[in-house]
Structure 1
Amino acid sequence: MLMNGSAVSQFTLLGLSNSRPLQLLLFALVSACYATSLVGNLLIVVTVWVDPGFLQSPMYFFLANLSLIDMSLGSVAAPKMLRDLMSQVSTISYGGCMAQLFFLHFLGGSEMFLLTLMAYDRYVAICHPLSYPDIMRHHCCLGLLASCWAGGLLHSASQLVLVTRLPFCGPNKLDNFYCDVPQVVRLACTDTYVVEILMVANSGLISLVCFLALLGSYGVILVTLRGRFGGGEGWKALSTCSAHLMVVSLIFVPCVFVYLRPFSSSQMDKMASLFYTIITPVLNPIIYTLRNREIKDAIRRLAHKPGFRCWT
């Protein structure tokens, strides 16, 4: 069966380990992470959705969308990984591999743009508080959010075009636990130098530029907050921004590590991939809920609602 004019119709995923005890341990850990990610992010979405004040607040509106992306992003690789760890049959069809690659970059790109938008929202709220209600009106927030999703779609589509134009005629062993551009490109039976350069320009530079823009935004915010620590306002804003900055670092640092150095291959690439596909979606809701008193109070109120108690 030929795919894309090549002899490869499926790929073999080498995964993280061939040791059966370690595979079972990984299955337990990934299961716990995936379940925690789904429950934690869903709780944030429901909390924001049922609270009219949160839903009208740009910061919490964007946070709910971040949680939606995290739930979806965690579901791209984790279910397949869990099945492979239990069955020890780690294969994926060509079409399934391309679909996994597409959704990984679509959701990952959208998340990067959304985090940049969230940094802009905090910048306007802290540095230009009087203009904030006019700048971040609800319909403007919807338009900015749609731009994030559109940017993620454009980024992912360009990655998919780069990969599907390559011929694959063997070998078909992917040195990872899911399909991603760097590992798939290395299997092409043609010179991929130009493709890898384009990949760096696409994924790597997008990650780096967004990360530097975020750091610049928070640098300005810290300078603005410097004289406000005498009261509670400055500390509250700093707590919110520090939580956001922690999430940003957890996502962007592994991505920059993987996509700015596509010509190398190491076990560290697998660890970085595991971190931002499995672990980061778990840490995001934990970081935001533990460091945000308003979210914690809203979750407590939600837990005491009769309908929620019956549902749980």
Structure 2
Amino acid sequence: MGDKGAGNHSDVTDFILVGFRVRPELHILLFLLFLLVYGMVLLGNISMIGIIVTDSQLNTPMYFFLGNLSFIDLFYSTVIAPKAMVNFMSEKKTVSFVGCAAQFFFFALFIVTEGFVLAAMAYDRFIAICNPLLYSVHMSRRLCTQLVAGSYFCGWVSSILQVSVTFSVSFCASRVIDHFFCDSYQIEKISCSNLFVNKMVSLSLATCIILPTVVVIVVSYMYIVTTVLKIPSSEGRKKAFSTCSSHLGVVSLLYGTVSFMYLTPPSNPELRKVVSVFYILVTPMLNPLIYSLRNKDVKQALRKILWKKKSLS
């Protein structure tokens, strides 16, 4: 395995999460910032799930996927943010070996699952715009459930493989992870093992799991754009594009930040931490806003709920 003489992973009981390398007095500011954004993540995504569940008019495939997207955003932020906030205010900043593995497992599970759910949403928009007469036949409740279940299954397989190879290595004397959560790249940096298998597993997962979701999204929108451009009226084109704009915004936010994080050279660790905040907290905070502000059905459902509460008070 190419061990350099340091202790095996079984000797490691905990890690130290460095967090942001800022002056100690700024940790309270980081804590408050994370608390504010995380609170908005909870409020936005729980509200979105509640609106979709309570309004019968939103009982459609698109909102079924959107409800699952909010559920995923809610939980993968929760996997990271509370522990990060605790460490901002703590002197020890430690996380147990098991806790680190669990955090990485659930984060990988939800982030990969979100990629597949976004691909399913792109396919849903493709059928709605390119084959509207057959939409109810193609996008049955059973198929939607199967697509979401398949998304979770792929996320589960991916996270098991990633955790298995990441935490089976031997670690050097250092237990310091230069991040505010258990990031695979930083964990591998303190390993003394040959990481060839890790790199091959990561490449295989990107090829077999991540790449297909990108292909589905890109191909779906190629067909959507081609179909919409054939619509004779400008009003019809505008209406068709408006049904996709929210999804495109969410896809751009997630894939843009993740691509920047993992495809750019790791020359600036602090910049990578800032970018991580975007896809861990900012994107889950913005997703409900994007859908609620740009979607008439959601705004109407929200008005109905508020009107009912006002009538009862």
Q: State the TM-score, normalizing by the size of structure 1.
A: 0.91
Structure 1 residue runs of 5 or longer lacking an equivalent are none
The CA deviation at 1:186 is 1.6
Matches within 5 A, 1:54-133: 54-55=58-59, 57-133=60-136
Cα–Cα, structure 1 residues 307 and 204, in superposed 2: closer, same or farther, change >3 Å? farther
8 Å CA contact 2:9–2:167 kept in 1: the answer is: no
2:293 is equivalent to residue 290 of structure 1: yes
8 Å CA contact 1:77–1:100 kept in 2: the answer is: yes
Cα–Cα, structure 1 residues 175 and 308, in superposed 2: closer, same or farther, change >3 Å? farther
Q: What is the root-mean-square deviation in Å for CA atoms of aligned residues?
A: 2.3
Matches within 5 A, 1:171-210: 171-203=174-206, 206-210=209-213
- Aligned to 1:15, which of 19, 29, 36? 19
Residue number in structure 2 paired with 1:27: 31
Work out the CA distance in 1 between the residues paired with 2:71 and 2:286.
Answer: 14
- Aligned to 2:224, which of 205, 221, 224? 221
The CA deviation at 1:285 is 0.5
Work out the CA distance in 2 between the residues paired with 1:298 and 1:232.
Answer: 24
Work out the CA distance in 2 between the residues paired with 1:229 and 1:113.
Answer: 33
Give the % identical residues.
Answer: 36
Residue number in structure 2 paired with 1:139: 142
8 Å CA contact 1:106–1:155 kept in 2: the answer is: yes
**Which residue identity lines up with residue 273 of structure 1 in the other structure?**
S
Work out the CA distance in 2 between the residues paired with 1:66 and 1:308.
Answer: 31
8 Å CA contact 1:13–1:91 kept in 2: the answer is: yes
**Which residue identity lines up with residue 191 of structure 2 in the other structure?**
A
2:42 is equivalent to residue 41 of structure 1: no
**CA offsets 1:126-147 (integer angstroms, 9 cap, x no match):** 0011111111111111111111
Q: Structure 1 residues 244-253 or 205-214, which shifts more?
A: 205-214
Q: Structure 1 residues 156-165 or 189-198, which shifts more?
A: 189-198
Q: Structure 1 residues 26-35 or 109-118, which shifts more?
A: 26-35
Q: How many residues align?
A: 308
Cα–Cα, structure 1 residues 309 and 163, in superposed 2: closer, same or farther, change >3 Å? farther
Q: State the TM-score, normalizing by the size of structure 2.
A: 0.91
8 Å CA contact 1:207–1:252 kept in 2: the answer is: no
Cα–Cα, structure 1 residues 152 and 4, in superposed 2: closer, same or farther, change >3 Å? farther
8 Å CA contact 2:15–2:176 kept in 1: the answer is: yes
